[in-house]
A and B are shown apart, each in its own frame.
Chain A
């Protein structure tokens, strides 16, 4: 499977500085289960960084904690542990953030309909962030007009209500609203998942154009592998709250290292049956995703992994940088060199 990323020269991080650094962030929720209160580990010791002007794609199944992570970044949830450094300054993960930090980071939500106030016209929805920041009235008009033109919404839609617009148009309104405050970073939580495929393509192209014009940084969260492949410069793969692999997009697609990543990519339907990865040994999925209330000990993926061995149950793997910018958390790749995968196949291994 060959892939071309949009800007191959962007994948070298040395030329850009990181706009967002997530350091060892964890989040657990107290969940009531009958009479007991149990701890749901939604995000577990996640560390990521995003360079300015690039897109970090975060991919994983439903329930892997990517939406929670998105909300922690933006400040809608507090983090139980860890730090976030935005634009060189540490920002609060637990309490109120200062206004500048709030303005610089915006979010585009998944459901275009529920993300808009049904009782407000779309120009009112877009203008609201500007009103809150105390921008002058005529300046608000100017900026709303500019941002609507940027996302390709005709000016006569300004007085319309959300229910009068199509899904794709509503998502453009959401993007326009996110742009209104001229942020540095936009987190997109499944921003195209609710749209038809052809509209998805339009919106993704729009996002790329906006990124180029305004030098925006994106954190793009999705469960759709094709979308992630298209839009990301770097990708992080999450499973049950942990980052299992991260690296440049092309690197990950050509050489997926973690068994979970390989499992994910083998599930992408392939037009050419000869190229299909479905029947590869790594692609065998041994079970259902475990509950985040009670994750497996040691490596959380071991219950579904073809290569699981004794060490996986007793010890949690750490992130190891296997090649430039490409890191994996798996016992198959311990510190000090990768192992031959063949050793771990069931029936072949003697360990």
Chain B
């Protein structure tokens, strides 16, 4: 006895008869006439297109870009000296005496210190995050795809670094390398690589067990190709969520290092350092004292919103 259903007549998708061959030809032509956007597009192009269509994301990215450009072109934007001030003019309020954002406790123009400080703080915030994201992803995805002894070995090495409290590790690296912005960046990058690698590795292991990876192996694609085109788009979501939260942490860590004399030494206008040194002025000129904090907040939130928009652009479901 065969199941009755299987004895039904031709259903959709059965034998290509002559009519359906003509139909197939027509379908083929209709398909080739489709717009470029409907045909096979690479994941990255699609993502770019969707990101640019997201106004909030573009706005946030614009804010980040603005901060970066202000830092780069600081001499063109302000004529005040960020490092030397007139103590007689200390702690002026906002919009007073020719100082748009007031002055700090040593009479230095706040606006100038912020834009010049951007060169230090933005670098200290973004560069370690981006570099650690790149290196951590590379390590994590490799460990996840290769697996076995090498994969475990890599992750255990990451665990050794991860076991140290972040700030202590940064101090240790900073102390051994010496003061200065570059060394701060290196220290913070090293601190951030293990957690990113962990996130990348667990996401990769989850993706690699799915059948579309097996199907990709059947096409004869090299492992690198599979990593790039199949694994990476599915793993980036988790990594970006984690990494974008690191920008604020990076800035504060850099500030702590400056405070300890391991980062950019005073009078360098590093935002985190300024935030700390103006604590006393909070009762005298609260608005001016908060300004470095506002800018750290702005940079961090704008970066977060831009990366949220990027994640949304990568997700076809939204």
Partner-B contacts on A (CB < 8 A): 1-4, 71, 74-76, 99, 102-103, 105-107, 109-111, 114-121, 123-125, 127-129, 132-133, 140-142, 144-146, 148-152, 154-156, 158-159, 161, 163, 172, 174, 177, 181, 197-198, 200-206, 209, 212-213, 226, 229-230, 268, 270-272, 275
Contacts and interface: CB of A to CB of B under 8 A. Distances in A.
A271 B3 CA distance: 10
B55 interface: no
Contact of A124 (B28, B30, B42): B42
B214 A145 contact: no
B18 interface: no
A45 B15 CA distance: 38
Interface stretch (B153-161, B219-227, B254-262): B219-227
Contacts of A111: 211
B13 A132 contact: no
Interface in B1-32: 1-3, 5-6, 8, 10-16, 23-24, 27-28, 30-32
Contacts of A151: 13
A132 B219 contact: yes
B38 interface: yes
B317 A163 contact: yes
Contact of A272 (B1, B2, B11): B1
Contacts of A206: 13-14
B24 A201 contact: no
Interface in B27-50: 27-28, 30-32, 34, 37-43, 46
Given A114-B212, A117-B234, A150 B24 contact: yes
Contacts of B24: 146, 149-150
Contacts of A149: 23-24, 27-28, 31
Given A102-B219, A133-B219, A146-B28, A119 B5 contact: no
B218 interface: yes
B279 interface: no
A119 B2 contact: no
Contact of A204 (B6, B23, B28, B225): B6
B6 A226 contact: yes
Given A129-B219, A209-B13, 13 more contacts: A105-B218, A118-B234, A119-B314, A121-B41, A133-B219, A142-B28, A156-B38, A158-B40, A181-B219, A198-B5, A202-B11, A202-B14, A205-B14
Contacts of A159: 34, 37-39, 41
B12 A145 contact: no
Nearest to B35: A159
The 7 closest A-B pairs by CB, nearest first: A155-B31, A152-B13, A129-B219, A159-B38, A149-B24, A206-B13, A119-B233
B230 interface: yes
B229 interface: yes
22 contacts: A3-B2, A74-B218, A109-B215, A114-B212, A115-B211, A119-B43, A119-B314, A128-B216, A154-B27, A159-B39, A172-B13, A197-B3, A201-B6, A202-B13, A205-B11, A206-B14, A209-B16, A213-B15, A226-B6, A230-B2, A271-B1, A272-B1
A134 to B, nearest CB: 10
A1 B1 CA distance: 5
B238 to A, nearest CB: 13
Contacts of A119: 43, 233-234, 314, 316
A107 B12 CA distance: 23
Contacts of B14: 202, 205-206, 209
Contacts of A145: 27-28, 31-32
A212 B314 CA distance: 41
Contacts of A201: 5-6, 8, 11
Interface centre among B13, B32, B38 (most CB of A within 10 A): B13
A201 B10 CA distance: 10
B34 A158 contact: yes
A140 B5 CA distance: 37
A151 to B, nearest CB: 7
Contacts of A127: 40
A76 B32 contact: no
B210 to A, nearest CB: 5
Nearest to B219: A129
B10 A205 contact: yes
Nearest to A269: B1
A109 B214 contact: yes
Contact of B15 (A117, A140, A209): A209
A24 B15 CA distance: 37
A130 to B, nearest CB: 9
Contacts of B314: 119
Contacts of A181: 219
A78 B211 CA distance: 17
A206 B8 CA distance: 13
Contacts of B38: 156, 158-159
A114 B211 contact: yes
Nearest to B23: A149
Given A152-B12, A201-B6, A272-B1, A99 B211 contact: no
Nearest to B209: A114
B13 A161 contact: no
Contact of B211 (A109, A120, A121): A109
A314 B54 CA distance: 72
A115 B41 contact: no
B220 A158 contact: no
B225 A155 contact: no
A269 B303 CA distance: 62
Nearest to B17: A209
Contacts of A125: 212
A76 B317 contact: no
Nearest to B33: A155
B298 to A, nearest CB: 32
B32 A141 contact: yes
